[in-house]
């Protein structure tokens, strides 16, 4: 079932989405070589609960952590662990925040230290592709218009692999709702968009080929060719003339910049 949210509901979702952004901002402040991904997860859970929320992911279909933390060739759904971040790593952090009956959902990929130029470009292109998709999230368009915008920019213009097994989705009272929002497709295909729908638009883009597989833990998705993958996501309200991000990257970017000024081995996108 596809839900059309009232203005009041959208404002509640916005508050949850902005708390995801606030959580990812706290993550950005911590990132540096030597920090473990498990310590990041523990900080985030504390921050979410201290702000009156519940981590959307923890316990969802048995997922055991508050964040999905995916490093380098891990595409999504990576488990926090004792792994210590290293110079040259990229780390996707996906987070959900639940409060007052509604979820927010957003993801951001960070770079640590000295990144290869081709990896920097991957992050830049993937991040931009979110906004290309958001621009198409407008009344009377179709899901395929979002999908085409992402695929056209990432694959056709830049040659990256667009993951097909994992997609964006509706978000609201449930973490995952209809419709599914693939990152590949044709203009004019799929469900028609209506003002008031709320979507999680989340390109998952590989430096190499599109093929992926899932580890034995049943969650962790990895690129077949072991090349890096990037992931950015906005909770987005469908609008009359364009989509409106309800989450924000701006606060995260400010924290990235501040961290880079303190730590010379921290890359800012």
Identify the residue whose tokens are 């997922």. Answer: 63
Q: Reading across the β-sheet that carries 212-214, which strands appear in turn?
A: 74-76, 221-223, 212-214
- Nearest CA-CA partner of 107 in 42, 226, 27: 27
Residue 42 tokens read as 């523990």
Residue 163 tokens read as 């993951």
The answer to whether 7 touches 197, Cβ cutoff 8 Å, is no
Note the CATH number of domain 7-262.
3.90.230.10
Burial class (CB in 10 A: 0-12, 13-18, 19+), 217: exposed
Cis-peptide into 90, omega within 30 deg: no
Distance CA 253, CA 181 (A): 26
| Per-10-residue mean pLDDT, the chain, length 269 | 97 98 97 97 98 98 98 98 97 98 98 95 98 98 98 98 98 98 97 98 98 98 98 98 97 90 58
- Nearest CA-CA partner of 38 in 10, 66, 77: 66
Measuring CA to CA, how many Å separate 217 from each of 23, 53, 63, 132, 176? 26, 27, 10, 33, 21
pLDDT recorded at residue 259: 82
Residue 246 tokens read as 């309800």
Write the DSSP symbol of residue 157.
T
| Strand extents, DSSP E, 100-243 | 102-111, 161-162, 168-170, 177-181, 198-201, 204-206, 212-214, 221-223, 229-231, 234-237
Residue 5 tokens read as 């949210």
- Nearest CA-CA partner of 10 in 77, 101, 84, 78: 101
The answer to whether 34 touches 53, Cβ cutoff 8 Å, is no
Burial class (CB in 10 A: 0-12, 13-18, 19+), 118: exposed
The DSSP result for 28-58, as a single string, is: HHH--TT-BHHHHHHHHHHHHHHTT-EESST
pLDDT recorded at residue 215: 98
Q: Reading across the β-sheet that carries 168-170, which strands appear in turn?
A: 177-181, 168-170, 198-201, 234-237, 244-245
Distance CA 240, CA 228 (A): 36
Domain boundaries defined on the chain? 7-262
Residue 159 tokens read as 């040659």
pLDDT recorded at residue 269: 52
């Amino acid at each position: 079932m596809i839900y059309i949210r009232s203005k009041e509901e959208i404002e509640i979702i916005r508050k949850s989405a902005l708390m995801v952004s606030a959580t990812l901002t706290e993550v950005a402040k911590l990132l540096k070589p030597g920090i473990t991904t498990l310590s990041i997860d523990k900080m985030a859970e504390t921050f979410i609960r201290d702000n009156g929320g519940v981590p959307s992911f923890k316990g969802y279909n048995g997922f055991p952590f508050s964040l999905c933390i995916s490093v380098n060739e891990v595409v999504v759904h990576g488990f926090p662990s004792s792994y210590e971040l290293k110079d040259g790593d990229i780390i996707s952090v996906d987070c959900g925040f639940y409060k007052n009956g509604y979820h927010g959902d957003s993801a951001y990929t960070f770079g640590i230290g000295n990144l290869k130029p081709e990896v920097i470009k991957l992050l830049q292109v993937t991040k931009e592709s979110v906004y290309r998709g958001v621009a198409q999230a407008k009344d009377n368009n179709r899901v395929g218009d979002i999908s085409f915008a992402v695929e056209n920019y990432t694959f056709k213009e830049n040659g990256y692999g667009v993951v097909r097994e994992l997609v964006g989705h509706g978000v609201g009272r449930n973490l995952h709702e209809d419709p599914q929002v693939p990152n590949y497709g044709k203009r004019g295909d799929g469900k028609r968009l209506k003002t008031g729908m709320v979507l999680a638009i989340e390109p998952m883009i590989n430096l190499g080929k599109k093929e992926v597989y899932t580890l034995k833990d049943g969650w962790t998705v990895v690129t077949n060719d072991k090349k890096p993958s990037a992931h950015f996501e906005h909770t987005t309200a469908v609008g009359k003339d364009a989509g409106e991000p309800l989450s924000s990257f701006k606060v995260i970017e400010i924290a990235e910049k501040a961290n880079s000024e303190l730590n010379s081995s921290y890359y800012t996108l």
